[in-house]
Structure 1
């Protein structure tokens, strides 16, 4: 077969497919060139704004750490002076920008400095002798405002910013907690994400104390320079000048060059698209007929295979079902005939209770199979109607569970019933079908569960005059293979079939339940894992909701918090005192440990219900202590407690096994909510 000759239309379409992409490329190129200055300006403004906020937050975080120490001193009215140096040591470890912490009394004399060895030169220094220092320090302190100095040459050597946090108690200015800070390392870490930019920061005197990516060699066009002032304290005259620009001095020319290359590539790509369209048009007419014929053939073949598979599956399922049903009917029938023969040949055995019991049992089995067959036939023929009567779904659940409890317990299974409602609601609906659905699925769970437990959970919610109910029946039986979950409600399909079948029954229970649920306008969800168990969840809705009655509980609600054994783990004695007093107000008494190692040892000799765990401690930190305690006592509730509020610390705490993470100072409302969530007991209900 020869290839059709290209028509004039093919050439015309090829030209259109070339011109349209080419015009798009030219339009985009023109737009890009026009928008380039604005885009670069917006880019530098956005990047600069975000970077300035990050730098300012870094400074504020370090200032806040000093504020926390001052706040503790104020809250304790000076008692915390015995402990503030311990906190200062921790801050020096946690905040790499912090070089030293000192206390300057209200006379301007440096009383204490941490660490001491590197800063002995300033201990006892009277800053009144420093004209540039004392006046700002005194004025800002009396105004109860934080003071940040300029980039300063220190008496003990080196350069730093001095940050003064005033301390007030007893109505008087007591001095300042002062920190020396060099932000160079933290700023470098923030700048590592800004490799395309240069940054400089100068203090209020114009002294440059930070430079990233050699700012003096960066591009100089003012249009592409972001400038702002970082206001760091209440004095608006004290601020840092922040400048950010592109590190590449030729950024505009380079961006234009990339646009030129993109335009050239776009023209070549447009030409390639036009050629491909031309070749496609040539081959399209030659392949169209073959593709259509092949597609039709594939559709017919697929339909034939589907119908063949359906027919084969139906034949196999019916054959298996008839074989199984023949066996299930013959088994009780043979027993009935055999017992009747024995009773006829030996009249004394006619009065034997065992033979009578066997006759009744096998007769019931036979009657049950016949009833299932008749129900299934009636459902599939559409002749099964819905009969509406007034009934209480909760009462039906009570009846079904009571009726089956003995059979479950005789198999050595645990039967758990959880009715999650306090009201006894009445509805109008088909009580018989509702009861049959629950009974069939419960019997299925009993049949296929040899050990473990069966759990029935009932819940309901009201909406207008309708009552929506959900019933979950969960077992620890043999489970259902994933490839058979979709077929368990089919009439001729059984999970356990063939001559090696281990479980008796006709296999119609689930099929009948599925049909009845559809008839009542509901649905069934099935979740199962082979070898682990299955869960059937039935959703139904009933009309005519009325007559609500409270279900009486067997016991009253317990107190909000039961008696608890509590352990506080903190290397700070004052923190332990404050927390223990707070717990006493909640009616809880506590033990204490000064580090993680001591906490682990205490947990080996006493079982605690609740542990408050500090994070940063000597000998063993809170994360490691939590892991060790949780290994031996997985049920103990461990609440992390730290001034470190970073997401990394919180994440590490939760990963170590902490049940929650509280920050210092403690939010009393949040603490009480957590304690109620973990330890308040729900009201008990009378088991059905």
Structure 2
């Protein structure tokens, strides 16, 4: 029992001990758990603090990037100002001692510091350049890597070259570099330097550095693009200023040249209307021709300038293309015929005549092409052929018309053809060339044809002549049709023609066949007389004899004598074909000057009317196609001439006298204003450039004065015609805008002045103006003084002008 009690006690004690042990174990476990919990809490707290720090860094970095993106200085300022903004913002965001931005210059193989910012001193300062020669491994790393990260910068393989010269003097321990590149090529680098204990650069910090590098790439590209745009704008402004200066120079040059040219051409034109010997007339015509040539050169230069500046406008107006073509050829006929050349115009019957376009520019192109053909052809023919290429069925576009100028000159080599239409270029540009010129004519023709939607070209062979052609679209006028259909009455005529020149014979045949006429052609006088006899022996309509100028067996005068001396030919209607340069001589022939004639080159309308006149009477004299030298309509009126140039004053006075007007001279704009307010004038010729007050201001003041006195009075505005040596559309617009009514460019001709006066004044009766018109006393005294000051001129010779 005692043993049992002892066992019981022992068990009890054992349980107690176990309970205490368990309690101790539980106590120890609780303590351990508490320690573990505390450790975990510390870890979590540290992690949370790290997370908060990272969040704060990210917030600062995002705030910094947002501030840079929103800052207008970054985009509108200079690259240096942008760099200062970026370095300061980045240094604060990363809390580093120094932030800097460097630009790589490939030619110099060096990095140049745009800006370096020290945060502790809040100071921006420049740094010395870094060259590839001194730091080759560092430069290789920049070109190769996207980031250079070093906690121990002096020991890092990328930065150890910088340790002695760059890092140690500034106590830099850690460094972070972010290169920025364009198209894979190094452009620059953003660099961050830490002073103090070594710093492990966080991933977000590295990403921020890289974001700044990308930002600098965009900034640099934008800056360079802006600089390029600025340079382009400056270049554009400079070009515009140069163009403006050039235009002003050309305008002033035009004025300075045209003013004396007005004296040269005007005086020679006036002189040509006085009694002169043949030698004197030859001299005057030579001076006048030379003046016209110089004026053509000036116009070429001005046209080229306007085309180059894009200021030459193409008009669209209704006109008769055949009339423009034939009149242009007629204007050049004298030049061709004096060289012994035959000039012809062949206008195909299928080509429309009533078209829309710019007749002035068409005439300019044709004049240039035909003048060149005449200049470079020594013998033979120059012809202008007009054909049409009508639209295909279903094509609603306008017909395309080709105007081709052919000559029998020496031809042009392929090398010469290649540079024909280039500006300032000639086939023979040597100092020994036979023919002169600016080399602008064909270039202007090319550009004009392109402005009108056409093309221009040349076909030529050495020794076989050349053909220059221009093809242009011509819209038709509404209701346009053929000029002349076959005429039943005209078809009753039987025509015999004595023409030795084959192309002229072909042209006549074509024209006559258009009107339903047949024609017997003869190349000699004897053959012609035989043909006329045959036609007279045959019953039918009126026999018409067309007589050209020269034949192999006789002259035209001998042939006309043969027709006139035999009564058999009394019923024959005779129409002569006369060269343009012989028209005045033919009219003065004592025996045959009364006979009707048409001039060559033959004009379609003139020939038609001449033949039509024979339907009533074979002896009707056909009116001349060119202006008659007889009296032209005179105009009455009191004219105030505002002109400060003495020679031009005299020219204006003499021309106005000959036209039937009374003229007064005013030498300044102020004098014009004062005179116009005292005396009523029918018209004012207003020079634009005058001393004291120019013509524009004088016109404005006259219009203001008229507006005041016009209230309650029947006072009509005085027509004011601008006289200016400037020659651009802008000048005309300026004249009209200031109140002028019309525009007359210097140098002007008597006919041009007459047409202008007829536009604004009524023609006066010849009987009323038969005597010489006297100029007002003051004007006459001024003119006399001017004449004495200039070259002496025979006043009686001037008085003979009618």
**Given the two structures, how large is their TM-score scaled by the length of structure 2?**
0.26
Larger radius of gyration, structure 1 or 2?
2
**Given the two structures, how large is their TM-score scaled by the length of structure 1?**
0.30
